[in-house]
Amino acid sequence: MTPSTRALTVAVGPAAAAPSGEGAPDLVLDLGPSHPSTHGGLRLRLALDGDRITACEPEVGFLHRGAEKLFEARDYRQVVMLVNRHDWLSAFANELGVVLAVERMLGIEVPPRAVWLRTVLAELNRVLHHLLFLGTYPPEIGEAPRWVLPEREALLGLMEELTGGRMHFMFNRVGGVKEELPAGWLHGVGTAVAGLRAALPRLREPLAEPLFEQRTRGVGVLTREAALDHGVSGPVARASGLDLDLRRDEPYLGYAELDVAVPIRTGGDAWSRFAVLVEEVAVSLDLVEQGVDRLRSLPPGPLGVRLPKIVKAPEGATYAWTESPGGLNGYYLVSHGEKTPWRLKLRSPGFNNASALPALLRGATVADLVPVLGSLFFVVGDIDK
């Protein structure tokens, strides 16, 4: 999922411009933007003194498709479809913020069953996101792979059964969710959660492995102050001691009625970021079980509010934010009373998290590059939008 040093192209000598603000380096290396092991186009320009990185300049925008301008030419139902694509590992979470913002402007009270189903799906999406990085990160730094694909596949099968999609779920609707649960679906969730609980020790194994510790302990340290300065959020920030999680601090959906534990580490290094990700999977499994129990206890009822064929948000503005798997997702919605947003500004966590790369890589070695990049757990489309 992350670039490897095999992709480095080398520019040497006076023709090689150093990253801005730096003197003449011994060597300038270009990492990317095209490489088969990246899920997107990210270019890093590295100034080196020997094998020590003295400066890093990320160049983003290779995947930019003007999502925010596209939002302005689509109605709210179409916006939900578009917004789940910038971070393809957090599709449900991306949809959620848009519908929450529109529902707030319309003054809609979503039926309880839809609220709790959204809560369960948001946490399942978080588990899917984290499992992919937990499974792919150790092999990238030389560890034996910890196979989590069968457990992740079980969850994907449940999401496909419910939503019809394995990546872009398109299950949220303004006022609720798409449709009723298939028969036996909640039982299937319980079985999948039990299987994942059994796999948690396997996910924790790398943390005690000597090679893993050697490659990640004290590597890519992001201090709490630097995390605040760069607007870093999510698991990366919590690994640096930043105790912030909107599910607990500004609860939405059903989180106010749940016991949301927030794993915090203070090391700020790649090891701490991986540890937080593992702990968050365990927390999400707890929340899924609590949410399923609430769904089972609710009487039959609607999963959505009947709306007119054309949804028009009233004139005004609102800001909604959610705790997506990668960090804070913010949605600033401005409406002129039309069926399309006048402006929908998307604040995605990937851009801010990746902006910390120059601080993380300054002073690191080239060998540290892959452990640092992989431990930021970003999707390049989320950086570019």
- Write out the DSSP string of 19-73: STT----SEEEEE-S--TT-SS--EEEEEEETTEEEEEEEE--TT---HHHHHTT
pLDDT value of residue 381: 83
In which domain, by residue range, is 352 found? Answer: 67-384
| Tally of structural domains, the chain | 2
CB 242 within 8 A of CB 227: yes
Q: Are residue 90 and residue 166 in the same domain, yes or no?
A: yes
286 and 192, same structural domain? yes
In this predicted structure, what is the pLDDT of residue 17? Answer: 53
Low-confidence spans in the chain with pLDDT less than 70: 1-25, 34-40, 146
pTM above 0.85, yes or no: yes
Give the domain CATH number at 229.
Answer: 1.10.645.10
pLDDT score recorded for residue 11: 43
Pair (53, 185) in one structural domain = no
Domain final position from 59, 84, 104: 59
User: b vs e for 302-328, b when ≥16 Cβ sit within 10 Å of the residue's Cβ?
Assistant: ebbbeeeeebbbeeeebebbbbbbbbb
Q: Based on the fold, state whether residues 123 and 158 are members of the same structural domain.
A: yes
Domain identity same for 134 and 50: no
pLDDT the model gives residue 130: 95
Give me the pLDDT at residue 10, please.
40
Whether 264 and 324 share a structural domain: yes
